[in-house]
Chains A and B, each alone.
Chain A
């Protein structure tokens, strides 16, 4: 392993080793050299014979799922995949419909997360982009070759309402409450839309871009 004086290994097991000082490597400036990567990979392949084949099988499974999802989105929702932005932009009024189809038809049964973001009005090359929110949702299939489905919806800032996924996934309850709390996006059909992290009488929504990190607030009683 190394030419350094080897660490004292307790011959009698338990008590002596537990009592040994923790700084066994004090003064050892050298790093553990390691072996050539080909040697290591060959040895691991022998120790774990099925690992590589299984990984390859899962990669192909995931690719097939990704393709099926792409085709489904193109056909039913008329959107192109947008991998560099996490997922495609879907019309907000079809948010619930898409989630239900993914859960019931394509097997994306695990509710993973939801992430809202605030985009203030800004000037672009083609004109002005008004203030809006974006809501990204992630679902996942289970077991071998798990694949995550992500999509985004754009929500106008003056309404700031989108369908809730609580009827489909009970776990969406707290996640949507958190997004409502921190960003002020409202969820239509949510059974219990209250603040989650902040006190009920808190003013403002901290993750909005116009909420400065040093915003003064009334000291909490």
Chain B
């Protein structure tokens, strides 16, 4: 079997004026010309997806296989493109929030938060302290739920080696349900909350809620150890260690953020490094790992669940009194007008830096242009760099470890 390292690959930057000096040992060439591949005639083309269970939605990747080794991977996204950015240009500022709930359907709280923060910045609206605490609490709970869903689906991707595959998935969903119940208690909805609004939140914490939060967090914390018991065995480690390694330099170039960046050894977290809401009052422990492989990403996410549980407890125990929203209740779609200005505001969502570039203009009723920065799209852009030199079964593990949400990537 020909090794891909022996391939005479076209220099990546050959068509551009300025080339980057190669400093790393070997980085797969995503623009590899297959005609130059030594064993070109023997390559098998395999289209994985868009409706394969391991693609977490509708993601298609065309794999060129030499035996079982991947030589080149060409991803295709856009199957879930709904034109959200175009739609936002037609909606008033207060109507954008519920649309963005459907964007990243695994962490809708963070999507609402990101959009409302940029509106508030351009409007110059201040968020009351109580609302800041509530928003931070919701974001941390959402991080737990999102990472739990990731852990379950990742274990399922790895399949039969883990006791039939779906066991961890079922347990993770059981715990995620506890968080969804908390959200339902607060907002009445399990997924599409529409609870953030410009200037604060629409739903205030009901009496007795802290006890419920504590009860759920205690249960989840106790069961984290059970996951370790289920997952930490040689087969799991063999399938994840050294698989899909991203070095720090490549991670930065690709714009990977969140757990992916931290698993590549870069100590960077917007919650600590650019604190928003009340993160400046909290000691956020940023969890890093030098491995850069699937196992490192798993370890980082699992520890982040524990960290989020700790932060959530701190927040719910220290709830300040006061108003929950600084603006008047919504009387009509014309209540908020932004006539000019541009801004980029980012938060740390469970998947990484979730930002919004907003251009206000025109009559000020709706955004002139709204660009969302979805961390999942950047994660998927790493696929052509990560898949080559791995086997087909590893490809499924790598894709799972990237935690892509297609609703967010395709928008």
Partner-B contacts on A (CB < 8 A) = 1-7, 9-10, 13-14, 17-18, 22-25, 28-37, 40-41, 43-45, 47-52, 54-55, 58, 62, 84-87, 96, 100, 109-113, 115, 117-118, 136, 138, 140, 142-146, 148, 150, 152, 164, 166-171, 173-175, 178, 182, 189, 191-192, 195-199, 206-207, 213
Residues of A within 8 A of B272 (CB): 54, 144
Q: Does B42 contact A (CB under 8 A)?
A: no
CA distance A150 to B19 in the complex (A): 23
- Are A25 and B212 within 8 A (Cβ)? yes
With contacts A22-B184, A191-B12, A192-B31 taken as known, whether A96 is within 8 angstroms of B210 at the C-beta atoms is no
- Are A24 and B275 within 8 A (Cβ)? no
With contacts A32-B205, A189-B15 taken as known, whether A13 is within 8 angstroms of B222 at the C-beta atoms is yes
24 contacts between A and B (CB under 8 A): A5-B208, A24-B185, A25-B206, A25-B208, A25-B212, A31-B204, A40-B318, A49-B283, A84-B340, A85-B342, A110-B255, A112-B346, A112-B355, A115-B357, A115-B359, A117-B359, A140-B353, A142-B266, A142-B267, A146-B270, A167-B16, A175-B255, A197-B81, A207-B369
With contacts A112-B346, A117-B369, A169-B253 taken as known, whether A143 is within 8 angstroms of B268 at the C-beta atoms is yes
Partner-A contacts on B (CB < 8 A) = 12-13, 15-20, 30-31, 77-78, 81, 83, 85-87, 89-90, 129-130, 133, 174, 181, 184-185, 204-212, 214-215, 218-219, 222, 250, 252-257, 261, 266-268, 270, 272-275, 280-283, 314, 318-322, 340-344, 346, 353, 355, 357, 359, 368-369, 371, 373, 377-378, 380-381, 385, 410-411
Residues of A within 8 A of B129 (CB): 37
- Are B270 and A2 within 8 A (Cβ)? no
- Are A113 and B357 within 8 A (Cβ)? yes
With contacts A34-B320, A85-B342, A166-B16 taken as known, whether A115 is within 8 angstroms of B208 at the C-beta atoms is no
A-B pairs with the 7 shortest C-beta distances?
A171-B255, A55-B280, A115-B371, A86-B342, A34-B321, A189-B16, A197-B78
Query: A-B contact count, CB below 8 Å?
Result: 254
- Are A7 and B255 within 8 A (Cβ)? no
- Are A40 and B208 within 8 A (Cβ)? no
Name B204's closest neighbour in chain A (CB-CB): A31
With contacts A37-B320, A44-B318 taken as known, whether A111 is within 8 angstroms of B215 at the C-beta atoms is no
CA distance A166 to B86 in the complex (A): 26
With contacts A25-B206, A110-B252, A112-B346 taken as known, whether A44 is within 8 angstroms of B314 at the C-beta atoms is yes
- Are A22 and B209 within 8 A (Cβ)? no
- Are B17 and A189 within 8 A (Cβ)? yes
- Are B357 and A86 within 8 A (Cβ)? yes
- Are A37 and B215 within 8 A (Cβ)? no
Residues of B within 8 A of A111 (CB): 252-255
With contacts A25-B209, A32-B208, A37-B322 taken as known, whether A48 is within 8 angstroms of B282 at the C-beta atoms is yes
CA distance A23 to B85 in the complex (A): 37
Residues of B within 8 A of A35 (CB): 318-321
Residues of A within 8 A of B320 (CB): 34-37, 40-41
Name A36's closest neighbour in chain B (CB-CB): B321
Residues of B within 8 A of A87 (CB): 342
Residues of B within 8 A of A174 (CB): 77, 377-378, 380-381
- Least distance between B15 CB and chain A CB atoms (Å): 6
- Least distance between B203 CB and chain A CB atoms (Å): 9
- Least distance between B288 CB and chain A CB atoms (Å): 11
- Are A40 and B252 within 8 A (Cβ)? no
- Least distance between A61 CB and chain B CB atoms (Å): 9
- Are B254 and A7 within 8 A (Cβ)? no
With contacts A85-B342, A206-B83, A213-B90 taken as known, whether A170 is within 8 angstroms of B314 at the C-beta atoms is no
With contacts A13-B219, A169-B255, A196-B78 taken as known, whether A32 is within 8 angstroms of B314 at the C-beta atoms is no
- Are B281 and A44 within 8 A (Cβ)? yes
- Are B371 and A113 within 8 A (Cβ)? yes
Residues of A within 8 A of B89 (CB): 213
